[in-house]
Amino acid sequence: MSESSRPMHFLEALVAKDLESGNITKVVTRFPPEPNGYLHVGHAKSICLNFGLAQRFGGDCHLRFDDTNPEKESDEFIQAIQADVRWLGFDWAGDVRYASSYFQQLYDWACDLIDQGLAYVCDLSAEEARVYRGTLTEPGRNSPYRERSVEENRALFAAMRAGEFEDGAKVLRAKIDMASPNMNLRDPILYRIRRVVHHQTGSEWVIYPTYDFAHGQGDAIEGITHSICSLEFEDHRPLYDWFVKNLPVPSEPHQYEFGRLNLNYTVTSKRKLKQLVDDAVVTGWDDPRMPTIAGMRRRGYSPAAIRTFCDMIGVTRSDGTVDVAMLEHAVRDDLNNNAPRAMAVLNPLTVTLTNLSEDHREVVMSPNHPQNEALGERELVFTQQVVIDADDFREEANKKFKRLVLGKRVRLRNAYVIEAYDVVKDADGQVVEVLAKVIENTVGADPEDGIKPKGVIQWVSKSEGGRATIRLYDRLFTQAEPEADGDFMAVVNPNSLVVIENAYVEPSLLRAQPEQAYQFEREGYFVADRFDHCAETPVFNRTIGLRDAWQEGA
């Protein structure tokens, strides 16, 4: 994988130190998604971090679903998340874990807290609790239920579990400090009543632990040594430690935080991604325009490119916004090295080579990669009529235009140099056909008269080529910061998808397998759609265009 000489980031240095000092003998991390949405590029960073740490230091990384809130979770997400992690190139140690499989242990530990006088059942409504909690600058007030006896709390908590109360009627809270400047310590809620069927535990429970009460203890049960989360959980660390200290947990995990990924021209919040899906701005969580792992996959990004990107951006505690150009660079670099070349014509214009016979059929060989012979070569069939891109022809142009101009020459990639001498126009004056002649003996050689062509363009035999649907994807948002002015839906790029129905593609592309990536020369990188592509109705998605220094005009 990506073995860089890059200096260690702070978490790698931390693990190295803990290993060296004997603080731990093996590093164990975990990737803990809540199954309430699809994984996105931000999760990819976390996955690379957690699995990468385990990989680099010979430890384990667990996959644990943080499924403490059944209302928003579902099995669909559980399946998709596992597929995404595997596709990205990682595998977890042991079975998939679920916070929900620790529910009984968590319940017992809650009772333990009650017995120690460190937790109590509170009858305050959500609204009342908010008032009692105080504000950022004013301390909160103790709940009137705070001093219930251990016996009463025990009985009440058991009754909560038994389903004797309505949803929201009571909660179990830790008894810490209502005046703490850290809001998380103002008697945080440990359990709430929710009569919802849970995707893993069914109807077994009507009370569910909160994230705070479940996460650290789950880590302790699994022997997690380094529990890595994002910066916004930093204020929760004292609470995380409080539970570890006050409960007879089997190990002592520690939480560390890093800055989550922000990408410009992109939104990465499950809520917003879900809105894009629900409002049909995109076709689904795996739409190629989505920054989800499934979306990037369908777009044609490789797992290696995404991993390289995660390695490039580093891991720190500062929160910045990475330029999406960096992701695009990683994608291009990977595809440039690995994608076989092929030719496709998106906006076809017929060129008739009048010095060839109508049934001319000549095989020319073409390397599949200009720098990598290992990728082999393929046959192209050259015929009297070929199509070129309409943008590659001008009746007249200045010297900067290195394509076909009436009266001038151009090389057809991997084949002949041709010279245009006339055009055929329709009633509107549009050029519908170019008449040209091939220059003899120019396959693999310059014209014998010494007049070299101005440039090289791609082509497809009109009779031998196939037709395909090509989807041109572009950035989903027109603004670098889609959420800057409030409504990200207002800055959706109306041209983020342009469909071309009858593009010409060279014959070899008809044999493409779904998810096979190509570089369509001079156009960009494309991938056969994972779901919609087949030999009968080829569909290619543009992953990303080539870098293009060509400036029209001047």
Using CB under 7 A, which residues numbered 270 to 329 contact RNA? 312-323, 325-326, 328-329
Q: How far is the CB of 149 from RNA (least distance, A)?
A: 21
Largest Cα–Cα separation, the chain? 104
284/280 Cα distance (integer angstroms): 7
| 56 near RNA (CB under 7 A) | no
Closest contact distance (angstroms) between CB of 303 and RNA is: 19
**Is 530 a catalytic site residue?**
no
Half-sphere exposure of 455 (CA within 13 A, CB side): 13
CA gap 58, 74 in Å, rounded: 33
Q: Which residue, 455 or 507, is less far from RNA as judged by CB?
A: 455
Residues 210-239 that bind RNA (CB under 7 A): 210-212, 215, 231-236
Instruction: Give the angle 88-12-253 at the CA atoms, nearest 5°.
Output: 90
Give the footprint of RNA on residues 455-474 (CB under 7 A): 455-456
Q: Of 56, 146, 154, 260, which is the active-site residue?
A: 260
| Least gap, CB of 531 to RNA (angstroms) | 27
Tokens of 542: 């543009």
Closest distance of CB 171 from RNA, Å: 5
For 71, 267, 276, the CA distances from 285, given in Å and listed in that order, are 19, 13, 9
Helix, strand or coil, per DSSP, at residue 98: strand
| Region from 40-48, 348-356, 380-388, 516-524 binding RNA, contact rule CB under 7 A | 516-524
Closest distance of CB 158 from RNA, Å: 18
Whether 6 is a known active-site residue: answer no
Nearer residue to RNA within complex by CB, 26 or 376: 376
CA gap 325, 346 in Å, rounded = 25
CB of 136 vs RNA, minimal distance in Å: 4
Of positions 125, 149, 354, 430, contacts RNA by CB under 7 A: 125
User: Please, how many CA atoms are within 13 Å of residue 90, restricted to the half-sphere of its CB?
Assistant: 30
User: Residues 138-177: x/- map of binding to RNA (CB under 7 A)?
Assistant: -----------------------------xx--x------
CB of 526 to RNA, least distance (A): 12
Would you count residue 347 as binding RNA (CB under 7 A)?
no
Q: Does 447 bind RNA (CB under 7 A)?
A: no
Binds RNA (CB under 7 A): choice among 280, 371, 374, 486 = 371
Using CB under 7 A as the binding rule, whether residue 419 contacts RNA is answered as no
Residues 190-209 binding RNA (CB under 7 A) are 192-193, 208
Q: How far is CA 392 from the centre of its chain?
A: 35
Q: Residue 318: which residues within 8 A CB-CB, separation 6 or more?
A: 259
Nearest to 460 by CA among 342, 353, 344, 341: 344
Measured CA angle at 229 (ends 200, 190), to 5 deg: 55
User: Which of 95, 85, 1, 97 has its CA nearest to residue 47?
Assistant: 85
Kindly name the residue from 161, 270, 289, 471 that is annotated as catalytic. Answer: 270
**What does the alpha-carbon distance between residue 242 and residue 174 come to, in Å, rounded to a whole number?**
10
Name which position in 442, 461, 496, 541 contacts RNA (CB under 7 A).
442
Identify which of residues 90 and 416 has a Cβ nearer to RNA in the complex: 416
Report d(CA 364, CA 459) in Å as an integer.
13
Alpha-carbon span 141 to 132, nearest angstrom? 5
Task: Indicate whether 427 belongs to the interface with RNA (CB under 7 A).
Answer: no
Residue 98 binding RNA, by CB under 7 A: no
CB of 67 to RNA, least distance (A): 8
Stretch that binds RNA, among 37-45, 54-62, 298-306, 369-377 (CB under 7 A): 369-377
Give, for 503, the enclosing helix (H) or strand (E): strand 497-505
Closest CA relative to residue 242, chosen from 175, 335, 160: 175
Nearer to RNA, 287 or 380 (CB): 380
Q: Exposure of 484 by Cβ count < 10 A (0-12 exposed, 13-18 middle, 19+ buried)?
A: exposed
Identify any residues that bridge with 226 across adjacent strands, giving them in sequence order: 254
Radius of gyration of the chain (CA): 31
Site for RNA in 10-29 (CB under 7 A): 10
Residue of 46, 100, 184, 384 that binds RNA (CB under 7 A): 184
- 475 annotated active-site: no
Q: Does 401 bind RNA (CB under 7 A)?
A: yes
Active-site residue numbers?
34, 260, 270
